[in-house]
Structure 1
Amino acid sequence: MKPSFQAAAFASLVSLCGAVFATEYSAPEALVAPSSFKGVHGLAVDKQGRLLAGSVVGNSIYQVDIDSGETSVFIGPDQGQADDIAIGPKGEMAWTGFYAGQLLIRDNDDAPIRVVATDLPGMNSLDFNDETGQLYASQVFLGDALWEIDPTGSEAPRLIAKDLGGFNGFEVGSDGWLYGPLWLKGEVVRINPADGQIQTVATGFGTPAAANFDSKGNLYAIDTLSGLLKRINLSSGETTNIAQLSSSLDNLAIDSQDRIFVSNMADNSIQEVNPATGKVRLITGGKLAVPAGLALTEDGADLYVADVFAFRKVDTTSGEVTDLRRAHGSDAEYPISVGLGKERLLLTSFSTGTLHVIDRQDNKTLHMIHGLKAPSGAVELSNGDIVVSEMESGKLLRLSGGSLDQQQVLSEGLQGPVQMILGHDGMIYLTEIAGFLTRVDPATGKLERLVSDLQLPEGLSETADGKFVVAESAAHRLLLVDPATGTKSVLASELPIGFPAGPGMPPTGIPTGVAVAADGTIFFSSDIDNGLYRLQPE
């Protein structure tokens, strides 16, 4: 599953090597190592034996060396936004543009890319019938339908069925039926593409994500909730556990040698599973998925990371990463920002319109507030009220009451609020897409723009002496801003931040997070290579 960014509400690489930094700071150091992808989803093995992987947020299709794990961009932005990939009988490659609502095809490596279907938001899974060349594709999450697509693009898609329950990663069987999971119903089914007839194949899944056949006709499926890879007996519907993996599984592919490859969106990983022995080998992976917003504990010992496909904590000394929540293995809803209250953690997701309030002591969910308009940040006031910034509406909302069900507009007229913090002086500070560092009085809602002409400012953190570090993502640098004078100075430039937003994403794409410790150490997240970095004062 992918976050359903509210695209209609928004107008729509640099290497760390050679980074330039102020003399009072050390060069950026990776606290958590970079990794490939930005969440990894659809997998396919083509006629040449190449393992291909799609990343929706990464807006690219990657080629992965099965032996070494080396990864390279195969088709990049903006045409590479692939949720799933399928190889046709003639070696053609097709893929789904999830947010773009497109299905794209390339007949071979040297052929041009053709868009053969449009205006189908949530294009998710697809597969060819190897005997007939027919192509099928499903909408999931932003739609719920199954289509036959003309590979030439000359005829309009034919609707096979709708309101299925999320027909996710499917494959055409030897009988011509389509076999795959119903994400929302916990079942694996088969669908007759001629008339849309549905038959249950197997039940008992938490959240089934994909199903594929091997060369012998065995059907395998993954359960993203439990992290299990299972084999399904087509005659009885009984399932056999093949391998225990981690939750947040997304897709699988099986090659001509019947090796099974499984993607995990929370770990940026692809694993190879031997179906005979259940042995698992990591091909490539990372400790973080898509690090965005950061919050530093009062003692500076830990960083909370809104990691989109997970919520995590990082030890600032060792770089050790602890999972607090994983997508589809918990109640996490694609967190993009994290705020630190006295006793609560405040996660926001502009993709699902959610404020998720968590108890800091026992990690239990206290509140899940839905229906917000692309919330981009949250802060806790001294009386326990929570202020949420809405990127879509340009408003700050004040939530109060025991269930946070009392809502009032604190301030409005903001031009794309991104990151928001509570200052040492009790004032609210935030960055705006339009290029502002802004202060808002939480008592009156009075709005004052302190600095302008910033180049897509995102992450924001206050230093011990009342200045602000701002991640200026469009310029790939960190600035130090004095709110009293408005003066700006560059702390570090040519940083691995500022990955361009893909189709359907807000202008920020994945916002860069920033946190500053009491000793002046600066931490920032990278939306280029998915690492977590620190700059230490000399």
Structure 2
Amino acid sequence: MKRFTLPAALCAATLTLLGACTSAPTTPFTPSAASTAPPTRPAAWAAPEVLVLPSAFSGVHGLAVDQKGRLLAGSVVGNSMWEVDRLTGTAKVFVPSPEGQADDIAIGPRGEMAWTNYLMGVLRYRESDGAPMEVLAKDLPGLNSLDFDRRNGKLYASQVFLGDALWEIDRAGKAPPRLIKKDMGGFNGFEVGPDGMLYGPLWFKGQVVRIDPANGNMTVIADGFKIPAAANLDGKGNLWVVDTRSGELVRVDLATGRKTVAKQLEASLDNLAIAPDGTIYVSNMANNSVQAFNPATGDLRTLTSGKVAVPAGMKIDGDTLWVADIFGFRQVDVRSGAVRDVFRMQREPELDYPFSVGLSTKQIALASWFTGTVQLVDRQTFKTDYIIHGLKAPYDAIPMADGSVIYAEIATGSITRASGKDFARKTVLISGLGGPVQMVMGQDGALYVTEAAGKLTRVPLDASAPLRAVAEGLALPEGLSQTPWGTFIVAEAAARRLVEIDPADGKRRVVAENLPIGIAGGPGMPPPYVVTGVAVGRDGTIYMSANGNNAIYKIRPQR
């Protein structure tokens, strides 16, 4: 899995800003005397309909086939480990959140299992299905890949992206990890061979290598990869490698280093596992997919997949939804539900886990609170114009017609306008907010923002009026959009519902409830984790991203 650079002290700062999130009862909605809602305001809303089908995982990474023949798959963003039926592709949670967060999974010589909690920097372990979970190592940021030496049960693990080191882990969990080697170049999804050597890729060097765990000596086996993400041995003298940028599944002859592309897949590959029968299982984080490849016949079968990975913030323009999908950036045709890739993780090197999207006529703004960035993209060419780095957990951004950009930082509780060369001129528009999450430009020219502490707030951009709370007592409000008749649709993640709010008096009515939204983060993650995206079409249809099952829904107005 590619890097996460979580801003320092983010969780503490966020919790301080948010305070207590409380829920107020909803009241029947009627237009107030001051309301300008046109006659097209619906009397009610239809039940949610699926526009883009659900899928498992929320990004899929490490794979393993255990001694019972079960195919296990790890998800970092989804904070869970899954079991995938090797015949039907049916997937179910195997180790739930948050302990199940897994970037990689390893099976030991006696059937024991270990996995890496990447965002927590923790290595977890259990002897069997019914045995208690243990923590064998902690405080290792970016703990990524791991494997057992099946001859003697020794356990090795690597740090990648948030560190660059290889360790031997004490199986008893009492002694500190033993450092084997540092600064290798990103020793990602590796495997211990029958000779006790470690075989794996160097993400940042385009190589696959062999490392002696006794002394750290490293030998290059093959190079010339774009971004090799993982490697496994087949017991027949071959090392199988997935290249995440090229989307290639490559066979490397260990004796000669000769490379052969065995199958062209899509970019954003993450990991692989080889079953005893020789089947090679490959994960793709942008597709939420696990595929089975038969090296003898060349046949490829998709066990499970999704059209989107982890849909988050959304905006709509005409019949097109623009969706920040964390492991990709997508367009969705609201008439057909067809999904088109704009960017995919690793294929476009500048893409950094987009959690929200903002639109102007000329630009797209992709904000990522994980990486502290706002990426500005030309809307016609899809070329990156600029990336603003070093922000404190930006949850949303809006590119403006004058070339400036407005962004909301949850860790500072502020909204800032950046402009000029390299966006170096920064003007704080408002501070002291209780966790700004999502923003829209209102029909009245003011900025509206949801605050995770429970508010929908109006922020005038021209100082013509003071800041005003439109609604309070909301249950972790996230996604936000304005209807053609002037009300606002807000996703209350903690209550798993959508509400419609009249900006004139704050009255609200429930649009839909018991929704698959409100996914929780693991330890150290802020309460607004993967935001629920909301967009309203020109006909009043509401579109919502569902982070609970990775689907996109539409809700039609009833008149």
| Shared fold, TM over 0.5 | yes
Alignment partner of 1:383 is 2:384? no
Report if the CA contact (8 A) 2:321-2:332 is conserved: yes
Partner residue, 1:16: none
Partner residue, 2:198: 178
Deviation at 1:507, TM superposition (A): 1.2
Distance in structure 1 (CA, Å) of the matches to 2:380 and 2:513: 37
Partner residue, 1:371: 390
Partner residue, 1:17: none
Alignment partner of 1:302 is 2:320? yes
Q: Deviations over 1:25-58 (max 9, x none)?
A: 1110010000011000000000011000000111
Partner residue, 1:241: 261
Distance in structure 2 (CA, Å) of the matches to 1:227 and 1:319: 25
Partner residue, 1:326: 344
Q: TM-score, normalised by structure 2?
A: 0.92
Q: Which letter does structure 1 place at the counterpart of 2:118?
A: F
Partner residue, 1:312: 330
Distance in structure 2 (CA, Å) of the matches to 1:7 and 1:85: 28
Distance in structure 1 (CA, Å) of the matches to 2:473 and 2:202: 48
CA gap 1:274/1:157 in 2 versus in 1, 3 angstroms? same
Q: TM-score, normalised by structure 1?
A: 0.96
Distance in structure 2 (CA, Å) of the matches to 1:458 and 1:503: 20
Q: Deviations over 1:101-142 (max 9, x none)?
A: 110111011111111111111110000000011000011112
Partner residue, 1:194: 214
Partner residue, 2:25: none
Q: Which letter does structure 2 place at the counterpart of 1:225?
A: R
Report if the CA contact (8 A) 1:188-1:201 is conserved: yes
* Aligned pairs for 1:334-345 within 5 A: 334-345=353-364
Alignment partner of 1:420 is 2:421? no
Report if the CA contact (8 A) 1:478-1:492 is conserved: yes
Alignment partner of 1:400 is 2:401? no
Instruction: Give SS of 2:255's match.
Output: coil
Report if the CA contact (8 A) 2:542-2:555 is conserved: yes
Partner residue, 2:167: 147
Instruction: Give SS of 1:104's match.
Output: strand
Q: Deviations over 1:397-446 (max 9, x none)?
A: 21112543322322211221111111111111111111111121223495
Q: Which letter does structure 2 place at the counterpart of 1:215?
A: G
Distance in structure 1 (CA, Å) of the matches to 2:506 and 2:153: 62
* Aligned pairs for 1:36-75 within 5 A: 36-75=56-95
Report if the CA contact (8 A) 2:237-2:253 is conserved: no
Report if the CA contact (8 A) 2:268-2:347 is conserved: yes
Q: Which letter does structure 1 place at the counterpart of 2:11?
A: F
Deviation at 1:265, TM superposition (A): 0.2
Name the count of aligned residue pairs. Answer: 527
Alignment RMSD (CA, Å): 1.5
Report if the CA contact (8 A) 1:313-1:321 is conserved: yes
Report if the CA contact (8 A) 2:62-2:283 is conserved: yes
* Aligned pairs for 1:203-222 within 5 A: 203-222=223-242
CA gap 1:130/1:344 in 2 versus in 1, 3 angstroms? same
Partner residue, 1:349: 368
Q: Which ranges of structure 1 fall in alignment gaps of 5 or more residues?
A: 13-21
Distance in structure 1 (CA, Å) of the matches to 2:270 and 2:47: 36
Alignment partner of 1:8 is 2:26? no
Partner residue, 2:300: 280
Instruction: Give SS of 1:10's match.
Output: helix
Identity %: 54
Partner residue, 2:35: none
Q: Deviations over 1:471-503 (max 9, x none)?
A: 000000001111210112111111111112223
Q: Which moved more, 1:93-102 or 1:503-512?
A: 503-512
Distance in structure 2 (CA, Å) of the matches to 1:161 and 1:36: 36
Distance in structure 2 (CA, Å) of the matches to 1:505 and 1:235: 45
Q: Which letter does structure 1 place at the counterpart of 2:324?
A: A
Distance in structure 1 (CA, Å) of the matches to 2:152 and 2:303: 34
Deviation at 1:391, TM superposition (A): 1.5
Out of 341, 362, 367, the residue aligned to residue 381 of structure 2 is: 362
Q: Which moved more, 1:350-359 or 1:59-68?
A: 350-359
Q: Which letter does structure 2 place at the counterpart of 1:320?
A: A
Q: Which moved more, 1:385-394 or 1:100-109?
A: 385-394
Out of 179, 183, 186, the residue aligned to residue 163 of structure 1 is: 183
Deviation at 1:462, TM superposition (A): 0.6
Distance in structure 2 (CA, Å) of the matches to 1:217 and 1:531: 42
CA gap 1:443/1:231 in 2 versus in 1, 3 angstroms? same
